Structure 1
């Protein structure tokens, strides 16, 4: 479909609360890296909003005007008796994410957004991500099926063709497919694909709207950040076998950071 109006991509970045985080400094550092990768986009056809409970101590005034902060409208969901917010099974963290996505979408609603993208607050966006989307025909959505795993602790990376099964930042969905929720009530939140559909299930969700079009995004556009000290997946790697498998992958299957990868994903840049 030919685009009749300029494409605008809206990134919504739900940020975990300081109360939920096991390492708030790591959360803030990762968000800064994510925002740097947006700041260095080769196209300006985008907006981004970070939605959270506590505003990280970043140099917000040095960021471009199309990156905004929005305070969460709700308290964290209640914690179960005897539980801890740092354990994601002890409270409804999916509800917290969905509320923040809904709040962020309403915040950007006046920007005439063509596509929406949920972006995890620790993932990196290829510098030509928005430019590539702008050059594509408009359709119901695109899926970033290939990308990279970025091991921040080792400054090493590896390509993957299974990104859509690993990372939540892989779906780009047209604003024509769903309505921005009017509120954060459960009935309105159900309109949001993210939160009720897993990232690996997004292709099945989009198929009825695609009318036979291929949703594969033609750029390995996302670097999924791992091993930064506050990954949700770290909670489940307690077994000796799991730790050994991770060590082998990180040490033997990855590649050292090089100038091209650093440039494409704004690695170690400063947002000032």
Structure 2
């Protein structure tokens, strides 16, 4: 019997990590967040290179080891950004493919970045609406690592990779890893922005999830996006300080990190990593 959601967690090559101990700590929290689902009808796959030191995983998680080389363009270059994004899509996409092929009979897949958090209600909701093509998380939260505030982002699926739940057959998985083209890997598996339009054009639009389904962690040293902290990202920078109406709108989007949010997403509270 197919499990409702298989969570796919691609982990970068250890040589591409600025701080592996921090990555491991963040990944431990992501694992706990996934395992916090109110329904147990799920599985999860972590894809990491041979030799990478990973945390212990609870029941429901599998670890798939790969031998992909480090991404030589992992750090955002000053020059050609498209080369950077192309290399990122290939590196992430082939890890995702290995994970999906490990459990090819899932009902739905959700790709989760190794430092983010997901709502405990995802599996229950998807199981109750299992005829749909999938969902995009339109509203999600942004959390500054170690902070006490969440920012409600209303275009989350174009901002964070942990934002799509897609019916497995729509990926058109190849029979083997070797049968997948680079274009397929980069477009269908390595880009959370491209696949939504592709599916819509084919007549399989993703519906907005009717609740905030994930939390994007920002502002930590290992963040691949080099994201600043929450305050600098949405408040104390020249763009927003010169636009008071946008600054006020952002203030109104803040949510205190209450115990209810912490319990739903398993966001750690009370300990700052700064």
- Same-fold call, TM cutoff 0.5: yes
Counterpart-to-counterpart distance in 2, 1:241 and 1:170: 20
Structure 2: tracts of 5 or more residues without a match: 78-82, 242-246, 270-274
Matched residue, 2:38: 42
Going from structure 1 to structure 2, the CA distance change for 1:168 and 1:184 (only over 3 Å counts) comes to farther
Deviations 1:225-254 (A, max 9, x none): 1112211222799xx9999429988x9664
1:24-63 matched pairs, under 5 angstroms: 24-53=20-49, 54-60=51-57, 63=58
Matched residue, 1:266: 266
Which structure 1 residue ranges, 4+ long, deviate > 4 Å from structure 2? 88-91, 240-243, 246-249
Deviations 1:16-75 (A, max 9, x none): 122101111221111111110111100111111000114334233xx12x1111111422
Q: Give the SS at the match of 2:97.
A: helix
Counterpart-to-counterpart distance in 2, 1:194 and 1:40: 25
CA contact (8 A) 1:98 1:189 kept: no
Matched residue, 2:124: 131
Counterpart-to-counterpart distance in 2, 1:119 and 1:180: 18
CA contact (8 A) 2:200 2:206 kept: no
CA contact (8 A) 2:146 2:268 kept: no
Of 176, 185, 188 in structure 1, the residue corresponding to residue 169 of structure 2 is: 176
Going from structure 1 to structure 2, the CA distance change for 1:176 and 1:59 (only over 3 Å counts) comes to closer
Matched residue, 1:71: 65
Task: Give the TM-score of the pair, scaled to structure 2.
Answer: 0.78
Counterpart-to-counterpart distance in 2, 1:233 and 1:12: 19
Structure 1: tracts of 5 or more residues without a match: 80-84
Deviations 1:67-113 (A, max 9, x none): 11111142235x3xxxxx6524487232211110111111112xx21
Going from structure 1 to structure 2, the CA distance change for 1:186 and 1:15 (only over 3 Å counts) comes to same
Going from structure 1 to structure 2, the CA distance change for 1:242 and 1:218 (only over 3 Å counts) comes to closer
Counterpart-to-counterpart distance in 2, 1:46 and 1:219: 19
Matched residue, 1:13: 9
Of 186, 189, 194 in structure 1, the residue corresponding to residue 189 of structure 2 is: 194
Going from structure 1 to structure 2, the CA distance change for 1:204 and 1:11 (only over 3 Å counts) comes to same
Of 217, 221, 225 in structure 1, the residue corresponding to residue 213 of structure 2 is: 221
Counterpart-to-counterpart distance in 2, 1:88 and 1:185: 30
Matched residue, 1:87: 75
1:169, distance to aligned residue in structure 2 (A): 1.3
CA contact (8 A) 2:133 2:206 kept: no
Counterpart-to-counterpart distance in 2, 1:160 and 1:241: 12
Counterpart-to-counterpart distance in 2, 1:160 and 1:171: 15
Question: RMSD across aligned C-alpha pairs, in angstroms?
Answer: 3.1
1:138, distance to aligned residue in structure 2 (A): 1.4
